[in-house]
Amino acid sequence: MTDLPLPPTSRHAPVVFGRTIVIALVALAVSAPWLTDANALQLGTQFLCLLTVALMWNLLAGYADILSLGQHMFIGVGAYAFYGLAANLSVMPHIAIPLAGIIALLAALPVVFVVFRLRAAYLAVGTWVVAEVFMLVAGRIPGFGLGTGTSLPLSTAKAMGATALDRAVSIYLLALAVALVAWLGTWMLLRSRHGIALMAIRDNEEAASSLGVNLIRTRLGVFLWTAPFLGMVGAITALQKMRISPTASFGFLDWTVFVIFIVVIGGIGSLEGPLIGTIVYFALRYALSDYGTWYLIVLGGVSVAVMLVEPRGLWALLRRWIGEDVIPVSHRAPKQ
Amino acid sequence: MTASIPVLHLSGLSRRFGGITVLSDLDFEIRKGEILGILGPNGAGKSTLFNLISGVLPPSAGAIIYKGTDITRMKPWDRCQAGIGRTYQIPKPFSHMTVFENTLLAAVHGARLSSAQARTRSMDVLHRTGLAPLAAQTAGTLRLLDLKRLELARALAGDPEVLLLDEIAGGLTEAECHSLVDMVMAIRDEGRTIVWVEHVMTALRRACSRLAVIYGGGILTSGTPAEVLADPQLKAVYLGADDAE
Ligand SMILES: Nc1ncnc2c1ncn2[C@@H]1O[C@H](COP(=O)(O)OP(=O)(O)O)[C@@H](O)[C@H]1O
Ligand SMILES: [Mg+2]
């Protein structure tokens, strides 16, 4: 044999390193409430929300070939549903958040037809238009602050804790729970029979279809999968900001455009990509915080640069060195 | 004899691309358990015919009847699950997945096997096609010959009743080609029907029970290999065409 296997330690060193980093990040995220102050926890909440949204957009665009420009609609629906439940119906926030996720899922059902009928650029524009319609409708519902939006009642804030720190901790833990469920769930999804179909669609849609993958069912299933998580992120963001409004809750820039930058920079069509992209985004924002909106321009520049060097993002560059997935989704051949 | 039962019936099949008619009013029957060889110069529409049968392209007119059912409007995945498997002339691997995962996908979704059965079936077809040593390799890194093997392995993993092979023998040595023909005949002996588009005449002559020539949008001639290969029309079709053997 010419192909001598490398000693296992040297072959696996980079991937062990990568996995250690991921585990350390999770440990850091879990222990953050005991380590930091309210400001840092609020930033952490934003991070976890954006991380979850990036994962979902990546699942749609990177795997299921659904180039959605309208995912902020589910964030907005989640925020408004949360307001309706927590403020108008006095539902406990911890219960209102998952319910907001379910309502976002229900809102996604009619949108499925847009995804089913349209492809590529038409789908992108179509989802965007639908999101705008959702936003316009949200601004006309009586009892939700109409066009200017409204604040959540103090009672909702009090339900989250007595002090600012207590509230920051409870909201952070909610965001962490949603992010963990989203990531673990999506990881398990990708390792399942549906996941292998998604990866096949990502790599070659035509071959996948002629090898038995139901493109329609798989695509629509993934689309519906993302909606409740997006809705819960919307609910948590409304809770954190203590405010809903059509333009902010259905924020196209915050929840769709930046998220596309994040996924493009990190690496589309992988689980590691959205994580790396979100870290890069927050690092840029922090590093350039004294320069106003410059970080947006730098963000755009970085994503263009990354796209030109490696269309599959920073993760593709790293993966070449690591040699395998840090978050493994592969199915190993049985030993012979 | 089962050899004369039609498993696929192509009826008045046409396909146009813009103003160009590639297939026009093609009528043909594919019989259960045969190895049907398909000849025809480049651009004759052989791969297009496979695209119509597998459902990745709709016909402009006509119907495809599979085991007595009209499948003309059936989706590609339903056709695959119903037993129509195919390879692509220009390989379409799942580049970021391993060789094993490529076949596993077909076993899970095409043959609809349980996870454990699918793993076994995948390894079986990889052993058969000589790809087992490469099982853990990323498909995007394979050489062209291995990609063609993977096309065959993947289609086979889907447990097809009818297997459409699109130019899988090109570039093989004589010995490799010989064992490929053996493999194709063994696949047929499992009760599968095979339609094989190929330019390598020695392979077709040995493997096929019947040959058909596609030219001018339809079936120019068909019959036993001896009849078709002796047909003066075949020479005329290939005259000047440099892809003939
Ligand atoms: N998807 C397509 N769009 C446009 N033209 C096509 C398409 N597929 C095939 N053709 C054209 O149809 C003709 C037949 O192609 P093909 O079926 O690949 O031939 P063969 O496999 O016999 O060499 C060619 O002229 C090719 O350019
Ligand atoms: Mg061809």
CATH of the domain at B219: 3.40.50.300
Domain CATH code at residue A140: 1.10.3470
**Is the domain of B101 the same as that of B49?**
no
B47 CB near ligand 1 (under 6 Å)? yes
What is the per-residue pLDDT for A145? 86
For A334, the closest of B77, B106, B119 (CB atoms) is B119
Domain range enclosing B127: 93-159
Number of domains forming the structure of chain B: 2
B22 CB near ligand 1 (under 6 Å)? yes
**Is the domain of B27 the same as that of B122?**
no
Q: What is the pLDDT along chain B (245 residues), one digit of tens a residue?
A: 444 789 999 999 999 999 899 999 999 999 999 999 999 999 999 999 999 999 999 999 999 999 999 999 999 999 999 999 999 999 999 999 999 999 999 999 999 999 999 999 999 999 999 999 999 999 999 999 999 999 999 999 999 999 999 999 988 999 999 999 999 999 999 999 999 999 998 999 999 999 999 999 999 999 999 999 888 888 888 765 544 44
Please tell me whether residue A185 adopts helix, strand or coil conformation: helix
What is the per-residue pLDDT for B235? 83
Look up the pTM and report it: 0.89
Task: Tell me if chain B has a CB within 8 Å of the CB of A5.
Answer: no
SS (H, E, C) chain B: CCCCCEEEEEEEEEEEECCEEEEEEEEEEEECCCEEEEECCCCCCHHHHHHHHHCCCCCCEEEEEECCEECCCCCHHHHHHHCEEECCCCCCCCCCCEHHHHHHHHHHHHCCCCHHHHHHHHHHHHHHCCCHHHCCCEHHHCCHHHHHHHHHHHHHHCCCCEEEEECCCCCCCHHHHHHHHHHHHHHHHCCCEEEEECCCHHHHHHHCCEEEEEECCEEEEEECHHHHHHCHHHHHHHCCCCCCC
- Asked whether residue A132 is domain-assigned, the answer is yes
B45 CB near ligand 1 (under 6 Å)? yes
Domain range enclosing A168: 13-322
- Asked whether residue B88 is domain-assigned, the answer is no
**Is the domain of B164 the same as that of B237?**
yes
Which portions of chain A are predicted below pLDDT 70?
Answer: 1-11, 336
Our mutation pick for probing the ligand 1 site, out of B47, B195, B214, counting the most ligand atoms within 8 A of Cβ, is: B47
- Asked whether residue A7 is domain-assigned, the answer is no
**Is the domain of B195 the same as that of B77?**
yes
**Is the domain of B118 the same as that of B154?**
yes
Task: Tell me if chain B has a CB within 8 Å of the CB of A216.
Answer: yes
Domain-terminating residue out of B159, B194, B213: B159
Q: Which atom of ligand 1 is nearest to the CA of B42?
A: 23
DSSP state, residue A332: P
Task: Tell me if chain B has a CB within 8 Å of the CB of A118.
Answer: no
Domain-terminating residue out of B159, B175, B194: B159
Task: Tell me if chain A has a CB within 8 Å of the CB of B177.
Answer: no
- Asked whether residue A327 is domain-assigned, the answer is no
Nearest ligand atom owner, CA of B43: 1
Rounded CA separation A72/A132 (Å): 9
Nearest ligand atom owner, CA of B170: 2
